[in-house]
Amino acid sequence: MTQEQKQLLIKDLCSRLPYETWVEYEGKEWLVTGYGHGRVSLLPSVFSSVGGPCPLVEEIRLYLRPMSSMTEEEKAFLGATKEIEYTQTGLTGEGILTLESYDYLNSIHVDYRGLIPMGLALEATEGMYK
């Protein structure tokens, strides 16, 4: 993993901390509870109060949904969060993603940074994120 990839993974991971994000570590699924000093705090389940391991960030793989898995309802909600851009010639494109847009994508665990194709994340199993 390059330093750039590591930084991208850290940015993505930290933006998802409030949203019960799952990762793979040593062949098992773990819930992320925090990040600090290059390590990720993990729990074995949402019901566990016993702390799990704290691997280095480069030792985990996020579970994310591909953009193509978004439902029509999710796409419509995302569209409602966009800002329309105006130029001298009128409207451009489909709009600009706002902070609300990114918060929403993080909350539904969508891979908008392309981490899955880079091997930095795994495709979430169906039902992992409800």
- Locate tokens 């569209």: which residue? 79
Query: Contact at 8 Å (CB) between 85 and 95?
Result: yes
Contact 66, 113 (CB under 8 A): no
CA distance 59 to 123: 17
Comparing C-alpha atoms, which of 28, 26, 60 is closest to residue 41?
A: 60
Q: What tens digit of pLDDT does each residue of 16-65 get? A: 999 999 999 999 999 999 999 999 999 997 777 777 899 999 999 999 99
Give pTM, 2 decimals: 0.88
Taking the chain, what is the end-to-end CA distance rounded to the nearest angstrom? Answer: 30
